Amino acid sequence: MSAPAESKLYLDLCQQISDARTAFKTSHQDQIEIPDQEIQRRAEEQEPLFDVQRLTAERELLGEFLNDLLAVLKANEFFSREEVDKLVASKEKMDPVELIRPLINGDLPSFKAYAAQLGLETDLVSFVGLNLSQAVAELYADKVKQKVDQESWYKGSCPVCGSYPAIEKLRRDDGKRILRCGLCGTEWHFKRIMCPFCSNEDHNSLRFFVVEEETPTEKSAFRVDVCDKCKIYIKTLDERKLPKSEKPDLYLENLNTIYLDILAQKDGYESPTYWMLAPAEGLIV
């Protein structure tokens, strides 16, 4: 399959999963219970509002979204039919909690081992694990994110789940810098001149590059911010450069701009959330 055709199939798949997630959230939002006292205590202590380990207690919800996910995978051709059929046939053997645990703990080698134990391709199983984690994390986030105090949270990690940002934007109305969590999708304000990953504020070692286009397109609204102290990059969408009618979805924009990740990595920068983007290029690093 040619690269552009493969990339289109991948984006279609992610769009369909994003729609399935929205439907899942709508029908399950009342099933999440987090005591108010716990949220309040965590907020006072400047901790993320929920502990991601909680997701491992949601076997039933994870199992339900696993069914939705398998239905989407069966209807899409990005992953080979044979592999998807094998995955579906292994469903009874799979424990949805084991599918997300290594991702939540950042223990990718043990994830690889679990995929091997199931006799399945690591790329496909990790894609499923990632999407399961994101769906249930978003369900939690929707429950608590209105309780985030944007004025008192200054960290580069997510105020709701504590994960790293996957992408950011400069907001159209006021140019404010907004980070978007790679796991639960929460967006939060952050200082303009500071690295979210190492808190470096030295403007001499913080810079960005843009990729010039021959004609102005949506892509030219993107830039890549890099920190020369920790050597980490993050992609930034400057909404002010987009037509007012456009309402970009940062989750899909992130998937649609992998060419920028490749450029940044060629320049020697890394991203702690890149593995969430591209199974075809090695989801497991």
Residue span binding Zn ion (CB under 5 A) among the ranges 13-21, 24-32, 34-42, 173-181: 173-181
Nearer to Zn ion, 87 or 195 (CB): 195
Nearer to Zn ion, 70 or 230 (CB): 230
Nearer to Zn ion, 45 or 92 (CB): 45
Placement of tokens 């983007």 in the chain: 277
Q: Of the candidates 227, 237, 258, 276, which one interacts with Zn ion according to CB under 5 A?
A: 227
Q: How far apart are CA 232 and CA 264, in angstroms?
A: 9
Give counts: helices (H), strands (E), the chain.
9, 6
Neighbours of 29 (CB within 10 A): 11
Q: Of the candidates 66, 158, 194, 226, which one interacts with Zn ion according to CB under 5 A?
A: 158
Q: Of the candidates 32, 94, 115, 181, which one interacts with Zn ion according to CB under 5 A?
A: 181
What is the bridge-based pairing of β-strands 165-170 and 177-181? antiparallel
Q: How far apart are CA 258 and CA 55, in angstroms?
A: 28
230 binds Zn ion (CB under 5 A): yes
Nearer to Zn ion, 84 or 160 (CB): 160
273 binds Zn ion (CB under 5 A): no
H/E run at residue 67? helix 59-74
134 binds Zn ion (CB under 5 A): no
Nearer to Zn ion, 13 or 184 (CB): 184
Nearer to Zn ion, 102 or 159 (CB): 159
160 binds Zn ion (CB under 5 A): yes
- Name the residue among 281, 279, 285 with its Cα closest to residue 125: 279
69 binds Zn ion (CB under 5 A): no
17 binds Zn ion (CB under 5 A): no
Residue span binding Zn ion (CB under 5 A) among the ranges 91-99, 159-167, 172-180, 271-279: 159-167
- Name the residue among 42, 60, 44 with its Cα closest to residue 52: 42
Buried b (16+ CB within 10 A) or exposed e, 48-68: bbbebebbbebeebbebbbeb
Could you list the residues that contact Zn ion (CB under 5 A)?
A: 158, 160-161, 163, 181, 183-184, 186, 195, 197-198, 200, 227, 229-230
